[in-house]
């Protein structure tokens, strides 16, 4: 997975690779902005993600997801982190929980520290 310095760089790269639709959360589903296509959590897959941290303000944290719907739409979903996080259902939130999901490319993601080795 590529590493990007800015959200804009990640968005442009995803668009060049065919992720041309933009999705926004609507409580228990995502909705594509222009076509108003609604997709529930079981109707799309998270292909990859790129996490960005605010340099001076934790409220600036953002994650950009590349997703593909069951009917073939490829697009992006941006999620703010922290106090300004998007509000949506638990089912939809669980879809974006990517820990231990083999189908999501997590190369380059920050991994948890393995404290078991240090305690031995």
Residue-wise pLDDT tens digits, 16-72: 999 999 998 887 899 999 999 999 999 999 999 888 876 655 556 788 999 999 999
pLDDT for res 91:
78
State mean pLDDT over 96-110: 54
**Alpha-carbon span 40 to 26, nearest angstrom:** 10
Do residues 27 and 40 lie in contact, with contact meaning Cβ atoms separated by under 8 Å? no
- Given a cut of 50, whether residue 109 has pLDDT beyond it is no
Question: What b/e readout covers 19-39, taking b as 16+ CB neighbours within 10 angstroms?
Answer: bebbbebeeebbebeeeebeb
**Alpha-carbon span 21 to 16, nearest angstrom:** 12
State mean pLDDT over 89-99: 72
């Amino acid at each position: 997975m590529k590493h990007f310095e800015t959200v804009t760089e990640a968005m442009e790269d995803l668009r060049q690779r065919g992720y041309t639709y933009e999705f926004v959360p609507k409580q228990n589903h995502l909705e594509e902005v222009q076509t108003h296509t609604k997709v529930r959590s079981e109707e799309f897959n998270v292909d990859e993600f790129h996490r960005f941290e605010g340099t001076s303000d934790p409220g600036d944290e953002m994650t950009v997801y590349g997703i593909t719907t069951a009917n073939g739409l490829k697009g992006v979903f941006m999620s703010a982190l922290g106090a300004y996080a998007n509000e949506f259902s638990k089912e939809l939130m669980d879809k974006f929980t990517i820990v231990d999901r083999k189908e999501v490319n997590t190369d380059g993601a920050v991994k948890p520290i393995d404290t078991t080795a240090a305690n031995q």
